[in-house]
Amino acid sequence: MLALINPTDLPPDLDAMRSIALEQNRMAHDLWTQVELLKHQLAQFVRARFGASSEQLPGQGDLFAEPVTIPVPPALPATSVAGHVRRGRPALPKDLPRERVEYDLSEAEKACFDKVERIGEEVSETLDYTPAKLTVIEHVRIKYACKKDGESTVRTAAAQPSPLPKSNASAGLLAQVLVSTFADHLPLNRQESIFKRHGVHLPRATLCEWKLASAELLAVLRPALKTHILGAPRVHSDDTTMPLQQAGRGSTSTARLWGYLGAGQREENGLWVDHPPAVMFEFAETREAIHPSTFLAGYQGYLQADAYSGYSALYRSGRVLEVGCWAHCRRKFFEIAKVQKTPGLASAALDWIARLYAIEKVIRDMTPDLKLTQRQEQAVPLLADFRRWLEGHVPQLMPQAPLGPGIRLRVAQLGCAGTLHRKRRTAAR
């Protein structure tokens, strides 16, 4: 801690005074660094607790406001916005079922004329919505008294009212619960309220049991889904935390949900063919490397993931080629820039990355071979300038500053990327 010095305790010797001043200056510098770090951590906490989760930045900056000399982050090209034009009502799809409602003149209106002859009609359309409804299906199994060779027996027709044993939920109702949960992101308490408005009380505990049992029925599709994902030219992998209720205990532990997305394009007979995207999730109680290593054991291709060291064994195998994730790279700069008021290095780093994103936006619909050409011509020189910009600011950053470790890590990653990009002749996939 920086202690106050009594003037009477100061030594008369000039060199001794200089030593005391330098030591006080060093201690003040360390304390200032700690204060700035704590301020940054507090701002991060406040944003995580009360701020928006979006990673779109309106132009805020970070701690550092030193002027940048070489190279300067490239400015995005100006875009002109066309004037707004009213285009009228959108046309309704022709394949929707239609109900015809005719409107005719009343008898009193027709009586005003000597003769009324129909010569045509005018048609306009409105889009209607029929709310979902619940119905009860009575499954009637006909019983027969059957006789053969003098013997009698009773036979009843077979029926399967529900895919789940001892359940009164039809396949359509189970599908509605699953789609509402996983496609529409409706929690079970809201679905319970929706069904209640339709006059049926379905407790969320029952809905949860239906959801689990339906997932067990659909487990027969998992092997085929996994085979399809591992056959993709590229796989995206990431994991997220989730609370796990301990059996017999009120506390929870932190478990993991691993997601694997298979997608991309491959060249077949001179044509680029899309690999239909598919996602598969795996639950695990830990984040050990054995989980992605086991799932991707038979995979050969590109793997886009974060910098988690658990993927390293896959990369060392030679079958899997590492592809960095710019969303993860960008996030550290964004977190610093978001909580600061003065534009600085973090904001400038986002400008570099935005330029890369702009290139990707332009080439999004190109074929992979054209994407590769454009990336080599545009993105690679931009990345080289970005790395020089990062290296130029490393000496200015204090080791404990929030931006220091992030910039040093990005310099190392871009160095690896510079070595690898020459080998990725089909990285446009």
Give tens-digit pLDDT for 235-277. Answer: 999 999 999 988 777 788 999 999 999 999 988 888 999 999 9
Indicate the pLDDT class of residue 105, thresholds 50, 70 and 90. Answer: very high
Residue 344 lies in a domain: yes
Indicate the pLDDT class of residue 65, thresholds 50, 70 and 90. Answer: very low
**Cα–Cα dist 227/280, whole Å:** 11
Is 334 found in the same domain as 265?
no
Q: Name the pairing type of β-strands 234-245 and 301-304.
A: parallel
**pLDDT score at 393:** 76
- pTM for the model: 0.68
Name the residue among 384, 358, 360, 357 with its Cα closest to residue 372. Answer: 360
**Cα–Cα dist 220/203, whole Å:** 28
Is 268 found in the same domain as 348?
no
Angstrom CA distances, 418 to 64, 383, 428, stand at 28, 8, 15
**Could you tell me if 186 and 176 are in contact, meaning their C-beta atoms sit under 8 angstroms apart?**
no
Is 362 found in the same domain as 373?
yes
**pLDDT score at 87:** 63
Residue 109 lies in a domain: no
**pLDDT score at 288:** 94
Residue 12: pLDDT over 50: yes
Residue 107 lies in a domain: no
Q: Name the token pair of 123.
A: 């048609």
Is 208 found in the same domain as 177?
yes
Q: Domain limits at 241?
A: 231-323
Is 369 found in the same domain as 297?
no
Residue 398: pLDDT over 70: no
Q: For the chain, first and last CA: distance in Å?
A: 56
**pLDDT score at 53:** 58
Is 209 found in the same domain as 240?
no
**Could you tell me if 125 and 99 are in contact, meaning their C-beta atoms sit under 8 angstroms apart?**
no
207 Ramachandran zone, left/alpha/beta (phi>0; psi -120 to 50): alpha
Residue 294 lies in a domain: yes
Is 268 found in the same domain as 290?
yes
Q: Three-state DSSP class for 237?
A: strand
**Could you tell me if 71 and 389 are in contact, meaning their C-beta atoms sit under 8 angstroms apart?**
yes
- The tally of CA atoms less than 13 A away on the side-chain side of residue 381 is 6
CA angle 295, 429, 54 (to 5 degrees): 75
**Cα–Cα dist 200/193, whole Å:** 9
The string of pLDDT tens digits covering residues 309-356 is 999 999 999 999 999 888 888 888 887 788 767 677 888 888 988 999
Is 329 found in the same domain as 319?
no
Which ranges constitute the DSSP H helices of 96-254?
107-110, 171-182, 188-197, 204-217, 222-230
Domain count, the chain: 3
Residue 85 lies in a domain: no
Residue at which a domain ends, from 220, 254, 288: 220
Is 334 found in the same domain as 382?
yes
Residue 59: pLDDT over 50: no
The string of pLDDT tens digits covering residues 363-387 is 999 999 999 999 999 999 998 898 8
Between 94 and 19, the higher pLDDT residue: 94
**Cα–Cα dist 309/135, whole Å:** 53
* Mean pLDDT (the chain, rounded): 83
Residue 88 lies in a domain: no
Counting every residue written for the chain, the total comes to 429
Is 263 found in the same domain as 344?
no
Q: Name the token pair of 233.
A: 């030219």
For residue 93, give the amino acid letter.
Answer: P
**Could you tell me if 343 and 64 are in contact, meaning their C-beta atoms sit under 8 angstroms apart?**
no
Residue 80: pLDDT over 90: no
**Cα–Cα dist 421/376, whole Å:** 9
Provide CB contacts within 8 A for 161, sequence distance 6+. 137, 139, 168, 170
Is 312 found in the same domain as 213?
no
Residue 180 lies in a domain: yes
Residue at which a domain ends, from 297, 323, 349: 323
What does the radius of gyration of the chain's CA atoms come to, in whole angstroms? Answer: 33
Is 419 found in the same domain as 391?
yes
Residue 200 lies in a domain: yes
